[in-house]
Structure 1
Amino acid sequence: MKVITHLAFKSVLNRKATAILTILTVAVSVILLLGVERVRTQAKSSFANTISGTDLIVGGRSGQVNLLLYSVFRIGNATNNIDWKSYEEFSQHKSVKWAVPISLGDSHKGFRVMGTNQSYFEHYRYGSKQLLTLQQGTEFNSLFETVLGADVAKQLGYKIGDKITLAHGLSDVAFSRHDDLPFTVVGIIAPTGTPVDKTVHVSLEAIEAIHVGWESGANLGYKPDVEKLKAHKFEPQQITAMMLGLNSKIQTFALQREINTYRQEPLSAIMPGIALYELWGMMAVAEQALLVVSGFVVVAGLLGMLSSLLTSLQERRREMAILRAMGARPRHVFSLLISEASALTFLGIMLGVATLFALITMTAPIVQQHYGINISISAITSHEWQLLMLVQLAGIIIGFIPAFRAYRQSLADGMTIRI
């Protein structure tokens, strides 16, 4: 066996150009296979970690995916709002440890505006129960102050002290803007890779204040005095949704049932984890498509290796005949070709894995910044080991085709081979 391995190694070295191209073909296949797998799993992980540590999300009666989309991902709109009294009742419930109210509806240059209070910065978590941190400035403390998500500040070029104007609804057009009530940027949240980065945060009182003189989405012509608004104590009438953290996980189902059967108004309470799982399941087709594409890439790479081996085999018939004359048996020739295919596949896998880790190191910060997907450098998982073993096995099986041809030719050629 050692002799066969040595011969295979020498044979590969003797055909450097062909061997290198074959190794590169396998390496590219492995990079794409593991790269797609890592992006898929990390994207799923980042998706699942969009919100963390929240036991229940409560909104107007709706499907749980719709409620999750507008309350967490800022996509779409609520079917109904929640009365402020309902929020006060459940925020003071014996099972509730903390509550975060959110109010949606306005926008700023394509970014959603969210009204909330200080509890948002204290209790909202993402990822592995990470708290929001301010990259610059402070939280809002005055009526017309705002804290921006990282993407809002970066894309629009805002810095601390800048003035911004909010617009009523999602269409940022002249007649819907609150031009007479500008907000001052007092804080910028550090990047999170979540919808928080694309959100403009203001106080609930500010949401009420900027809509003084508005009715059914239209400005009635009343322009309030800024100082008078600051002196007035506003209390929300309605909010869009609320996030609840409970004293004990055991109480989750009981409180969820109580909220879903609440008689004062129709409400829905969802568990974020289950809703996220359902939402990801709706995108399973895209996930499977990625796996199929990466699988075809591996097949293409292995077929490239097969083509290379078969092409070189015709040129090596005299080599096989010489080996036979030196005492090698047909099974030795067969083993030699199998060993070569196995070695080329193994080297391709090693090169592919090393290159992938190098690419992840270089591109991870860029992917995190632009797409919010945290692709971490971690040890190869058991599933990835299985994929690599399948590639190695497929490479060995591919080697059987030229090996069998060499076996038959070595029997027929003897020393009479003509090139």
Structure 2
Amino acid sequence: MMTLTGMAARSAWNRRYNLLLMIVAIALSTALLLGVERLRHQVRTGFAQAISGTDLIVGARTSPVQLTLSTVFHLGGVTHGMSWASAQRIADHPLVAWTIPVSLGDSHRGFPVLATSEDYFRHFRYGDRRALALADGRPFGAVFETVLGAEVARRLGYRVGDRIVLSHGEPAHGDDDHHADHADKPFVVTGILAPTGTPVDRTVHIRLDGMEAIHLDWQAGAPVPGMSIPPALVGKFQLTPAHITGVLVGLKLRSRVFALQREIDEDPHEALMAVLPGVALDALWQIVGVGEKSLLGMSALIGVVGLAGLVSSILAALGERRRELAILRAVGARPIDLLILLASEGFVLMLAGTLAGYLLLTGLSLAGAPWLEARLGVALPVAWPRPSELPLLGAILAAGAIASLLPGWRAYRLSLSDGLTPHT
């Protein structure tokens, strides 16, 4: 057996270039398969961690999914908002540590505008309780100042100090309706947030009084004819909002979250609802999680293609090795020895390709992670295989070993004369 193994090793060395190409092909398939799996995991994790550290989302009574879409993802809109008085009562509740008011309704070149307070930058968390960070500039301070998400600034080419004009109404088709904009009250960009991989990147942030100021001379969704209030005079008006979209709430004791939720749901002053972010996000993922299933299907397809390439390569090489296998038979190798030899060779190739694929993915993650996070807001971490990836790697090796049995079985069936008889 040792003699057979030595001969097989010398045979592999003579075919080293072909085997190297096979290892490269397996490595590419493995790297792509693991990359898609990690991307799928990151997409789901990013979705679930679009907001963290917030105990309750409070808004006017509607569906939990609709309220979450509006306050967290800044999509769509609720039919009616909650009153500012209710928001203040919640903020003053003895169980509440902090609140972040949220008001939506306007847009800028297809991106949603979020009106909020300075508490947004102090208390908002995403991912693993990560705080928002400014890549440039400072938070807004005056009425007509704005802080842009990373994607807004990148795609529109904005820098600190630029002036932008907001449009009335929700984003639509990525273009402004110039007949319904607020050109008389432009905003100055004072800060640009670092990428987060969350809806924050696609959001224009302004102050609550800024949202009120641009609508002072508007009524029923349209400018009042003949009325125009210049920016210098908006301070003479009451800029406290009457209604907002919702409130993000953080508690002093998380153990009291259900008690406060029940109290808000039964508020006698206004029909409100309090939603647990984690529960709402899980429900929302059940609706939009078709993308994850698509990535799972893509992963399975990549695995099948990789295994098919391995089997076809070994079968193609088998035709060129008939004489070699016949000589091995002639010197005493049994058919079962050839079966074990080719199956082991296929397994070793799959093992080497899998390890090379993991190293390739690690290298690509090190080189491309900053670009991916900056451009797409998706992090591809460099890490040891996760527990969820170990069964995947084991399945790759097992499938490669099983796939290698086919060429081994063909070699087992070859007669001694098959490789020694010239073919004309």
Flag whether TM exceeds 0.5 (same fold).
Answer: yes
Q: Which residue of 1 aligns with 2:211?
A: 207
Q: Which residue of 2 aligns with 1:142?
A: 142
Change in CA separation of 1:240 and 1:414 when aligned onto 2, cut-off 3 Å: closer
Superposition misfits of 4+ residues, deviation over 6 angstroms:
none
User: What displacement does 1:300 show?
Assistant: 2.1
Q: Which residue of 2 aligns with 1:178?
A: 182
Q: Counterparts of 1:166 and 1:95 in 2: how far apart (Å)? A: 37
Q: Residue 85 in 1 paired to residue 85 in 2?
A: yes
Contact 1:56 1:271 (8 Å CA) reproduced: yes
Q: Residue 276 in 1 paired to residue 272 in 2?
A: no
| SS in structure 2 of the partner of residue 115 of structure 1 | strand
Q: Residue 8 in 1 paired to residue 8 in 2?
A: yes
| SS in structure 2 of the partner of residue 206 of structure 1 | helix
Q: Which residue of 2 aligns with 1:304?
A: 309
Q: Which residue of 1 aligns with 2:111?
A: 111
Gaps of 5+ in 1: none
Q: Residue 193 in 1 paired to residue 197 in 2?
A: yes
Change in CA separation of 1:404 and 1:225 when aligned onto 2, cut-off 3 Å: closer
Q: Which residue of 1 aligns with 2:319?
A: 314
Q: Which residue of 2 aligns with 1:235?
A: 240
Which of these residues, 396, 399, 405, is aligned with residue 404 of structure 2?
399
User: What displacement does 1:366 show?
Assistant: 2.2
Change in CA separation of 1:128 and 1:362 when aligned onto 2, cut-off 3 Å: same
Change in CA separation of 1:162 and 1:407 when aligned onto 2, cut-off 3 Å: closer
Which of these residues, 346, 353, 357, is aligned with residue 351 of structure 2?
346
- Partner deviation per Cα, 1:216-257 (whole Å, 9 max, x = no partner): 101112111333212444211111110000011111111112
Letter in 1 for 2:387: S
| SS in structure 2 of the partner of residue 197 of structure 1 | helix
| SS in structure 2 of the partner of residue 114 of structure 1 | strand
Gaps of 5+ in 2: none
- Partner deviation per Cα, 1:153-187 (whole Å, 9 max, x = no partner): 22222222222222211262222111221222222
| SS in structure 1 of the partner of residue 388 of structure 2 | helix
Q: Counterparts of 2:134 and 2:161 in 1: how far apart (Å)? A: 15
Q: Which residue of 2 aligns with 1:378?
A: 383
- Partner deviation per Cα, 1:301-337 (whole Å, 9 max, x = no partner): 2222222222332332322232233232232222211
Which of these residues, 327, 330, 333, is aligned with residue 335 of structure 2?
330
Contact 2:350 2:397 (8 Å CA) reproduced: yes
Change in CA separation of 1:315 and 1:111 when aligned onto 2, cut-off 3 Å: closer
Q: Which residue of 2 aligns with 1:95?
A: 95
- Partner deviation per Cα, 1:354-386 (whole Å, 9 max, x = no partner): 222222222222221222111111111122222
TM-score (ref. length: structure 2): 0.93
Change in CA separation of 1:359 and 1:81 when aligned onto 2, cut-off 3 Å: same
Deviates more, 1:178-187 or 1:33-42: 178-187
User: What displacement does 1:74 show?
Assistant: 0.9
Q: Counterparts of 2:398 and 2:29 in 1: how far apart (Å)? A: 14
User: What displacement does 1:46 show?
Assistant: 1.6
Letter in 2 for 1:409: L
- Partner deviation per Cα, 1:59-100 (whole Å, 9 max, x = no partner): 121211211111111111112101111111111111111011
User: What displacement does 1:3 show?
Assistant: 4.4
Q: Which residue of 1 aligns with 2:123?
A: 123
Identity of matched residues, %? 43
Contact 2:322 2:418 (8 Å CA) reproduced: no
Letter in 1 for 2:141: N
TM-score (ref. length: structure 1): 0.94
Q: Counterparts of 1:314 and 1:133 in 2: how far apart (Å)? A: 61
Change in CA separation of 1:2 and 1:88 when aligned onto 2, cut-off 3 Å: farther
Q: Counterparts of 1:306 and 1:330 in 2: how far apart (Å)? A: 20
Q: Counterparts of 2:320 and 2:144 in 1: how far apart (Å)? A: 80
User: What displacement does 1:140 show?
Assistant: 1.8
Aligned residue-pair number: 418
Which of these residues, 249, 257, 276, is aligned with residue 252 of structure 1?
257
- Partner deviation per Cα, 1:82-129 (whole Å, 9 max, x = no partner): 111111111111111101101110111212111111111111111221
